[in-house]
Chains A and B, each alone.
Chain A
Amino acid sequence: MIYLDNAATSRPKPPCVAEAVVAAMEDFGNCGRGVHEDALSAARTVFSVRQKVAALFGARPERVCFTPNSTMALNIAISGLLTAEDHVISTDLEHNSVLRPLYRLQQQGMGLDFVPADRWGRPDYDAFEKLLRPNTRAVVCTHASNLTGNLLDIERIGVFCRQHGLLFIVDASQTAGVFPINMERQHIDVLCFTGHKSLLGPQGTGGLCVGPGVEIRPFAVGGTGVQSYAESQPLEYPTRLEAGTLNSHGLAGLGAALDFLEQTGIDVIRQHELQLAKRFYEAVRQIPDVTVYGDFSQAERAPVVALNLRDYESGQVSDELAERFGIATRPGAHCAPRMHRALGTEQQGAVRFSWNFFNTAEETDAAVEAIRLLAAED
């Protein structure tokens, strides 16, 4: 199988990731529950992963809170910072992990507006200013579209947020580990990430980095291993947002993945992935009856190419690619309904190809040839 579905989850992972998970499963007690060596091994490893995540994103280790994924991190941030009295600005590029928590608050009375995207999926940056209201509390947006790979200028949006005293919540699901992110420089108040995509870690890992002065109401409350007789959740981070046993086995794997990223260099990884995505784009755009979506005038973009062949159902094309050519892609609506409307692919969906560091030029060329062959057939 040629795996080009890395925007859904990266595969393969560096071998050190599975090794670290297996070692953790054999050795770890429960992080923060008890003070014997096995519990401490887990706690030390989890803390070292906080330090690595903090170093990657310019955060404080004690304000890195772990969750099972980005969706949970976004739910915690959105529901724990915003209320029905607020107004929020988001964008058409968002994934349902941002949209649904926002829509749920909108149903309770919160004001919600979206910066529109054009047919190339480009956001209208001037709209941020126009959508501002006296009760605007936050901007919630993705760093890159999971559908087209279009990158948002989060530093520009961060400056806008600072100028107007707004909270800035960023969904880095498609960019963490590939693009440089610095919470201070980009004025990010809450950065939500998942471990299993471009960070190359196991599924079931993720989290949110909380900036200074940002007070998030706890989403889940429960066991913490500290302050047992307090009736409410401790308010100190990271415990504040981490009720229940952490996935220390998975986090051990994430720690190994972060070491791999550091040793390899995220610039090297990004250049490799973007080179492959560009190679693919330049070839498929020449093929008659292929429509590619997104803004390819951007030099920096997530390593994703979404396309359609004639008016074929995207699911049918993806299935042919898998069954006849052994190429794994993702079809359909990609949990990004507003972006599909902007691109005009609401009915057809799109076939998404996405790369990671372990993909090769040969695999990429094989995918091009498969599309060429399908396009030539009646």
Chain B
Amino acid sequence: MRQKEERCIVTFRTTAAAMEMERICKECGIPGRLIPVPRAITAGCGMCWSAPPHARETVEELVMDRHLMIEGIYAILL
């Protein structure tokens, strides 16, 4: 397995919300990709947005500006 590094993780309550996040991040050129939700946040299933830690502020602004329906934003070692 690769070395763990810090990531900014955004979680959602529906797949549709994750899709909207991905679409808008791509549109705005914000780095990141969809990955399975890490166990450290919640056991179960679903997808989350994983961005580099330096993008956290931009991601938070985007969530506010575009009224994205997220569950939470976390800093996690992955």
* Cα-based distance from A50 to B36 in the complex (angstroms): 23
Which residues of chain A are within 8 angstroms of B15 by Cβ–Cβ distance? Answer: 31-32, 43, 47, 225-226, 239
Given A40-B34, A236-B69, A239-B13, check contact A228 B45 (CB 8 Å).
yes
Which residues of chain B are within 8 angstroms of A43 by Cβ–Cβ distance? Answer: 15, 18-19
Q: How far is the CB of B60 from chain A (nearest CB, A)?
A: 20
The answer to whether B20 touches A226, judged by C-beta atoms less than 8 angstroms apart, is no
* Cα-based distance from A62 to B19 in the complex (angstroms): 10
Q: Do most interface residues of chain A lie in helix, strand or loop, or is the interface mixed?
A: loop
- The interface centre, meaning the residue of B15, B20, B69 with most chain A CB atoms within 10 A of its CB, is B15
Contact residues, B21-77 vs A (CB, 8 A): 22-23, 34-36, 43-47, 69
The answer to whether A35 touches B36, judged by C-beta atoms less than 8 angstroms apart, is yes
Q: How far is the CB of A378 from chain B (nearest CB, A)?
A: 62
Chain A CB within 8 A of B16 CB: yes
Q: Which of A33, A40, A228, A239 contacts B44 (CB under 8 A)?
A: A228
Which residues of chain B are within 8 angstroms of A239 by Cβ–Cβ distance? Answer: 13-16
- Give the B interface residue count (CB, 8 A): 20
Given A35-B35, A236-B69, check contact A50 B43 (CB 8 Å).
no
Q: How far is the CB of A80 from chain B (nearest CB, A)?
A: 18
Per-position binary interface string of chain A over residues 216-238, scored 1 when its CB falls under 8 Å from any chain B CB and 0 otherwise: 00000000011111000010111
Given A35-B34, A225-B45, check contact A62 B16 (CB 8 Å).
yes
The answer to whether A61 touches B16, judged by C-beta atoms less than 8 angstroms apart, is yes
Which residues of chain A are within 8 angstroms of B23 by Cβ–Cβ distance? Answer: 44, 47
Which residues of chain B are within 8 angstroms of A225 by Cβ–Cβ distance? Answer: 15, 45-46
* Cα-based distance from A228 to B47 in the complex (angstroms): 12
Which residues of chain B are within 8 angstroms of A34 by Cβ–Cβ distance? Answer: 36
Which residues of chain A are within 8 angstroms of B18 by Cβ–Cβ distance? Answer: 43
Given contacts A227-B44, A234-B13, A236-B69, 4 further A-B contacts (CB under 8 A): A44-B22, A47-B20, A226-B14, A234-B14
Per-position binary interface string of chain A over residues 13-43, scored 1 when its CB falls under 8 Å from any chain B CB and 0 otherwise: 0000000000000000001111100001001
Contact residues, A231-281 vs B (CB, 8 A): 234, 236-239
* Cα-based distance from A238 to B12 in the complex (angstroms): 13
Which residues of chain A are within 8 angstroms of B36 by Cβ–Cβ distance? Answer: 34-35
Which residues of chain A are within 8 angstroms of B14 by Cβ–Cβ distance? Answer: 62, 226, 234, 236-239
The answer to whether A226 touches B34, judged by C-beta atoms less than 8 angstroms apart, is no
* Cα-based distance from A227 to B15 in the complex (angstroms): 11
Which residues of chain A are within 8 angstroms of B16 by Cβ–Cβ distance? Answer: 47, 50, 61-62, 237-239
Q: How far is the CB of B10 from chain A (nearest CB, A)?
A: 14
Q: How far is the CB of A324 from chain B (nearest CB, A)?
A: 51
Which residues of chain B are within 8 angstroms of A35 by Cβ–Cβ distance? Answer: 34-36, 47
The answer to whether A62 touches B34, judged by C-beta atoms less than 8 angstroms apart, is no
The answer to whether A226 touches B22, judged by C-beta atoms less than 8 angstroms apart, is no
Q: How far is the CB of B37 from chain A (nearest CB, A)?
A: 9
* Cα-based distance from A238 to B14 in the complex (angstroms): 8
Given A35-B34, A35-B35, check contact A62 B46 (CB 8 Å).
no
